[in-house]
């Protein structure tokens, strides 16, 4: 009975541990080797085509994919886990324009039993990954010595797998009166490289009340700073001047979707609204609320064009 209770307790603890973390799988559809970086920490020490990170304690990460082929541009992606206890899969592929993108492919509950998948590198988050490089060197020699005992044949074979030494001796005489001794020795050198040790992602601060969706930039403009920026933009008479100043401001700042929406209403022409809405997406905090900017457009075609732009570029 005690054994049953202990097993049940251990199982419940394991279940709770799984429920408080997430797994992330990233793979390249066409097999391009890559490095995966999470919150500035490189996860795999050698380029891989399929990487699984287990035990992720946070719900928001900034991911970067660096390809072994330096001619392929890096991919930057904001990843958000809505719920813990799931295994989230992302696919690296080329979009219709030939640009490499990282797309969400699906999620499942974390399996209770581990399945070894060939060619998949599994990394436990917070544990240093060790890459092993093995160099093997083999030397051999043959020695001929005299032998005055004709008609004798002796064979000796010693194989020490742990020490990497193979020793073979063959002595054959039959009128030739000599013996051949062949010795081969294999030396193995192992080099280990660590990814830098344990790294814990920074705690997430929520700047939009009740928001739990994907995060773009880190800290949006405070209300006073935003209002000052808005007044500067609104003071200009022409859309072109407003657009130029607005882009200058957002180049060095982060905004919420609501702030972007408010600035869009300052423009008179639909084309300038659409231009600025495209420009702002990469500088927006609460990406999951970006649908709010659609209210500023007069035409449905502008909303469709903005959606297509985001789909193809982020």
Segments forming the whole domain that contains residue 50: 2-128
User: Which of 187, 185, 189 is closest to 159 using CA atoms?
Assistant: 185
Q: 122 and 136: one domain?
A: no
Mean pLDDT for all residues in the chain: 78
Taking the CB of residue 200, how many other CB atoms lie within 10 A of it?
11
CATH of the domain at 94: 2.60.40.2890
Total-model pTM: 0.41
Cα–Cα distance, 117 to 104 (Å, whole number): 20
Res 175: pLDDT: 52
Q: 142 and 119: one domain?
A: no
How many H-runs (helices) and E-runs (strands) does the chain carry?
6, 13
Retrieve residue 297's tokens.
């457009």
Res 188: pLDDT: 53
Res 189: pLDDT: 53
Domain count, the chain: 3
Contacts of 70 (CB under 8 A, 6+ apart): none
Cα–Cα distance, 283 to 293 (Å, whole number): 14
Residues 99, 68: contact at Cβ < 8 Å? no
Least confident of 195-204, 215-224, 284-293: 195-204
Q: 173 and 268: one domain?
A: no
Backbone φ and ψ of 272, nearest 5°:
-70, -35
Q: Is 300 exposed, middle or buried (0-12, 13-18, 19+ CB in 10 A)?
A: exposed
Place 26 in a pLDDT band, splitting at 50, 70 and 90. Answer: very high
Please state, for a pLDDT cut of 70, what percent of the chain lies above it. 67
Render pLDDT for 209-232 as a digit per residue (tens, 0 to 9). 888 888 888 889 999 999 999 999
In the chain, the N- to C-terminal Cα span, in Å, equals 55
Give kind and range of the element (H or E) at residue 51: strand 50-56
Res 314: pLDDT: 79
Least confident of 2-16, 91-105, 245-259: 2-16
Q: 186 and 109: one domain?
A: no
Taking the CB of residue 40, how many other CB atoms lie within 10 A of it?
9
Question: Looking at residues 175-198, what average pLDDT do you find?
Answer: 50
The answer to whether residue 145 is domain-embedded is yes
Retrieve residue 71's tokens.
């001619």
Q: 14 and 64: one domain?
A: yes
Provide Rg for the chain, Cα atoms: 31
Retrieve residue 81's tokens.
């886990």
Res 275: pLDDT: 96
pLDDT tops 50 at residue 267? yes
The answer to whether residue 241 is domain-embedded is yes
Place 296 in a pLDDT band, splitting at 50, 70 and 90. Answer: very high
Tokens 């394991």 sit at which residue? 14
pLDDT tops 60 at residue 279? yes
The answer to whether residue 215 is domain-embedded is no
User: Which of 272, 273, 278, 280 is closest to 255 using CA atoms?
Assistant: 280
Q: 99 and 142: one domain?
A: no
Q: 80 and 140: one domain?
A: no
Residues 144, 204: contact at Cβ < 8 Å? no
Cα–Cα distance, 147 to 171 (Å, whole number): 9
pLDDT tops 60 at residue 182? no
Q: 102-138: buried (b, 16+ CB within 10 Å) or exposed (e) per residue? A: beeeebeebeeeeeeeeeebebebbeebeeeeeeeee
Res 172: pLDDT: 55
The answer to whether residue 207 is domain-embedded is no
pLDDT tops 50 at residue 193? no
Contacts of 150 (CB under 8 A, 6+ apart): 173, 174, 175, 177
Res 201: pLDDT: 46
The answer to whether residue 204 is domain-embedded is no
Q: 117 and 137: one domain?
A: no
Q: 88 and 50: one domain?
A: yes
The answer to whether residue 233 is domain-embedded is yes
Q: Of the residues 194, 214, 236, which one is the last residue of a structural domain?
A: 194
Q: Of the residues 96, 128, 160, which one is the last residue of a structural domain?
A: 128
Q: 82 and 176: one domain?
A: no
Cα–Cα distance, 148 to 145 (Å, whole number): 10
Please state, for a pLDDT cut of 90, what percent of the chain lies above it. 43
Q: Of the residues 91, 106, 128, which one is the last residue of a structural domain?
A: 128
Retrieve residue 128's tokens.
């240093």
The answer to whether residue 211 is domain-embedded is no
Q: 9 and 122: one domain?
A: yes
Least confident of 174-183, 255-264, 272-281: 174-183
The answer to whether residue 67 is domain-embedded is yes
Q: 55 and 14: one domain?
A: yes
């Amino acid at each position: 009975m005690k054994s049953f209770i202990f097993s049940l307790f251990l199982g419940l603890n394991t279940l709770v541990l799984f429920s408080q973390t997430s797994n992330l799988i990233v793979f390249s559809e066409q097999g391009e080797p890559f490095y995966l970086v999470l919150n500035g920490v490189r996860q795999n020490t050698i380029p891989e085509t399929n990487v699984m990170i287990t035990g992720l304690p946070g719900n928001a990460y900034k991911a970067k994919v660096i390809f072994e082929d330096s001619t392929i541009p890096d991919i930057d992606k904001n990843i958000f886990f809505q719920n813990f206890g799931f295994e989230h899969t992302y696919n690296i592929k080329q979009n219709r324009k030939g640009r490499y993108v990282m797309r969400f492919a699906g999620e499942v509950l974390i399996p209770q039993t581990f399945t070894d998948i060939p060619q998949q590198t599994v990394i436990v988050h917070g544990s240093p990954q060790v890459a092993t490089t093995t160099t093997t060197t083999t030397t051999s020699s043959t020695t001929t010595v005299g032998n005055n005992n004709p008609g004798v044949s002796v064979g000796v074979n010693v194989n020490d797998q742990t020490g990497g030494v193979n020793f073979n001796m063959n002595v054959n005489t039959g009128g030739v009166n000599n013996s051949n001794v062949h010795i081969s020795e294999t030396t193995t050198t192992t080099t280990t490289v660590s990814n830098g040790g344990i790294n814990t992602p920074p705690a997430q601060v929520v700047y939009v009340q009740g928001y739990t969706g994907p995060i773009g930039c880190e800290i949006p403009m405070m209300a006073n700073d935003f209002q000052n920026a808005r007044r500067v933009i609104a003071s200009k008479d022409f859309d072109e001047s407003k657009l130029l100043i607005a882009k200058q401001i957002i180049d060095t700042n982060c905004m919420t979707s609501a702030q972007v929406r408010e600035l869009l209403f300052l423009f008179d022409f639909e084309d300038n609204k659409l231009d600025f809405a495209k420009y702002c997406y990469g500088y927006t905090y609460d990406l999951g609320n970006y649908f709010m900017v659609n209210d500023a457009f007069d035409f449905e075609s502008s909303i469709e064009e903005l959606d297509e732009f985001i789909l193809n570029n982020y």
